[in-house]
């Protein structure tokens, strides 16, 4: 198989696998609050462009970068339903990630065998449980990774081969990346600084000016999509709560209520090295790593990007494996020389042992995918089951107070008037309204916060009547007249 065929075979294999998982599980990509929020924001943007409503604003427009929902809204104009458009962006994004990943490995280590790069891409990335999840779920993860890798690909090629036009392309993809995921700024900044210093040294002032122009033109439509946001990216909740003291904490109180994680942030940022949601073979590659593996200037810059980004994550008040995927991809690039060393010597001197270890890694990765997707599918089924139950009781125009599941209910029951119990403390509640709540699950995390304050007021009213109990502790109530 020639190089071009194998380069396309890896992404194609992965996309077929992901499509099969979707088909077998019946998963539509919607899971948790964020994916439904992206869907609703994309539909609101499409409605604005059609002149049917005002520019969407509020907290979602402020907390979420506009690139992903805007791209889905654009695909809707092409006749693709929004739910499908979001899933398509994630699936295609994953294919682009794998193709660019293999290309970036070739630039960083041109002497490596193609089979080594392909197998590394499959085991290290295509079958990494967190990456599989990001491909299937309708969130910005896969699209942001694709844009980030495009930025890194053109940046590294510009540095290693002194190609100024690649730097201009890198600027375009860098701005697009930030427009899709705000939190990636710390990862891109060191590479962008290295490019700027390089082309100042080379006196390519025309290309630098063109890069600035490209950045402005790329950012303009993204800025317009957030013109009605409650606040700008610099007032993002993650930035506002950032602190060096968070490095050593594992319990936080923020917009997500009170949350306690298993380990402090300073350990959490090293999850890509040993957590089963990434890759089981990475700890072994560390034993084969040499300091000369980062001898190239571009690799040193990548290492700085990785350290700077992890430092930034350490100060957050939230731990999420999604946030670590960009760091994991950069780590894979840096560890590729160690992998190629293992693959070259192992397949020549210890062929049976090497392929036995690779087979074991494949089995462990498969088990990791099942373990990672199980709670996703469980939550997805809960949302759809709950929506079907509510359809049996609620009429169009009815008022439904809720929290957590309420974002999903907005998707599946758009004809109902939804009242979120987190957004404000309600002085009164409408008689005859419905309430969807899970007091045992939400009690500790939201103690003293709006959801529990509102719930306690509902209970104290004496008008709350349980209508139907549902899975996992959720109950539908009715406020009696």
Contact in structure between 31 and 380 (CB atoms under 8 Å): yes
Does the residue 467 lie in any domain?
A: yes
Q: 384 lies in a domain?
A: no
How far apart (Å, rounded) are the C-alpha atoms in residues 126 and 14?
Answer: 6
Residue 141 lies in a domain: yes
- Per the domain annotation, does 41 fall within a domain? yes
Task: Write the pLDDT tens digit of every residue in 281-338.
Answer: 888 888 888 888 888 888 999 999 999 999 999 999 999 999 999 999 999 999 999 9
Residue 2 has pLDDT above 70, yes or no: no
Same domain for 13 and 102, yes or no, is yes
Indicate whether 438 and 368 sit together in one domain: no
User: Structurally, how many domains does the chain consist of?
Assistant: 2
Number of Cβ atoms within 10 Å of the Cβ of 81 = 13
Q: pLDDT of 40-79, one tens digit each?
A: 999 989 888 887 877 777 666 667 889 999 999 999 988 8
Specify whether 331 is located in the same domain as 401.
Answer: no
- Please list, residue by residue across 285-303, b when 16 or more beta carbons sit within 10 angstroms of its beta carbon and e when fewer do: beeeeeeebbebebbebbb
Provide mean pLDDT across the span 200-217. 90
| Domain-located, residue 36 | yes
Does 229 have pLDDT greater than 70? no
Task: Give pLDDT tens digits for 147-195.
Answer: 999 999 999 999 988 888 899 999 999 999 999 999 999 999 999 999 9
Nearest to 360 by CA among 352, 348, 370: 352
Q: Which of 346, 374, 402 is the last residue of a domain?
A: 374
Q: What does the mean pLDDT of the chain come to?
A: 90
Residue 380 included in any domain = no
Kindly state whether residue 309 falls inside one of the protein's structural domains: yes
Q: Could you tell me if 406 and 420 are in contact, meaning their C-beta atoms sit under 8 angstroms apart? A: yes
Of 343, 374, 405, the residue at which a domain comes to its end is 374
Phi, psi of 307 (to 5 degrees): -65, -45
Domain around 475: 392-479
Q: Are residues 264 and 325 in the same domain?
A: yes
| Residues 424, 347 share a domain | no
Confidence (pTM): 0.93
pLDDT at 104: 94
Average pLDDT over residues 19-23: 94
Q: Does the pLDDT of residue 26 top 60, yes or no?
A: yes
Whether 436 and 352 map to the same domain: the answer is no
pLDDT for residue 6 is more than 70 = no
Residue 381 lies in a domain: no
Query: Is residue 116 scored above 80 in pLDDT?
Result: yes
pLDDT of 232 strictly over 70? no
Which of 312, 340, 374 is the C-terminal boundary of a domain?
Answer: 374
d(CA 196, CA 326): 22
């Amino acid at each position: 198989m020639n190089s071009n065929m194998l380069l396309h075979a890896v992404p194609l294999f992965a996309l077929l696998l992901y499509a099969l998982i979707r088909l077998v599980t019946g998963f539509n990509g919607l899971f948790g609050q964020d994916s439904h929020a992206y869907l609703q924001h994309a539909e609101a943007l499409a409605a604005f462009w059609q002149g049917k409503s005002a520019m969407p604003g509020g907290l979602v427009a402020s907390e979420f970068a506009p690139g992903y929902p805007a791209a889905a809204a654009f695909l809707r104009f092409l006749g693709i339903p929004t739910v499908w458009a979001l899933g398509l962006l994630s699936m295609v994004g994953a294919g682009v990630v794998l193709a660019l990943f293999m290309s970036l490995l070739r630039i960083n280590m041109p002497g490596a065998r193609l089979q080594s790069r392909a197998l590394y891409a499959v085991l290290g990335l295509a079958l990494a449980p967190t990456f599989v999840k990001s491909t299937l779920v309708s969130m910005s993860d896969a699209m942001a990774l694709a844009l980030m890798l495009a930025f890194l690909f053109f940046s590294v090629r510009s540095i290693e081969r002194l190609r100024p036009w690649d730097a201009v392309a890198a600027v375009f993809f860098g701005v697009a990346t930030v427009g899709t995921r705000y939190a990636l700024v710390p990862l891109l900044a060191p590479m962008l600084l290295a490019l700027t210093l390089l082309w100042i040294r080379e006196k390519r002032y025309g290309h630098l000016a063109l890069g600035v122009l490209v950045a402005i033109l790329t950012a303009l439509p993204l800025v317009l999509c957030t013109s009605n946001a409650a606040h700008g990216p610099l007032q993002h909740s993650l930035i506002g709560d950032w602190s060096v003291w968070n490095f050593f904490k594992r319990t936080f109180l923020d917009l997500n209520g009170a949350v306690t994680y298993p380990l402090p942030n300073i350990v959490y940022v090293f999850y890509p090295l040993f957590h089963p949601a990434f890759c089981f073979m990475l700890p072994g590659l560390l034993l084969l790593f040499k300091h000369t593996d980062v001898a190239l200037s571009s690799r040193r810059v990548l290492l700085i990007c990785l350290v700077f980004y992890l430092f930034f994550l350490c100060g957050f008040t939230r731990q999420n494996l999604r946030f670590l995927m960009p760091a994991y991809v950069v780590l894979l690039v840096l560890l590729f020389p160690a992998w190629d060393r293992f693959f070259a010597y192992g397949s020549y001197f210890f062929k049976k042992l090497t392929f036995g270890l690779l087979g074991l890694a494949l089995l462990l990765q498969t088990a990791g995918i099942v373990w990672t997707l199980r709670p996703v599918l469980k939550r997805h089924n809960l949302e759809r089951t709950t929506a079907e139950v509510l359809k049996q009781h609620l009429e169009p125009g009815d008022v439904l107070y809720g929290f957590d599941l309420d974002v999903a209910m907005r998707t599946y029951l758009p004809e109902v008037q939804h009242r979120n119990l987190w957004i404000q403390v309600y002085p009164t509640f409408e008689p005859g309204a419905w309430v969807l709540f899970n007091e045992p699950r939400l009690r500790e995390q939201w103690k003293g916060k709006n959801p529990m304050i509102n719930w306690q007021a509902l209970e104290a009213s004496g008008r709350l009547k349980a209508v139907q109990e549902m899975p996992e502790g959720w109950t539908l109530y009715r406020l009696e007249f």
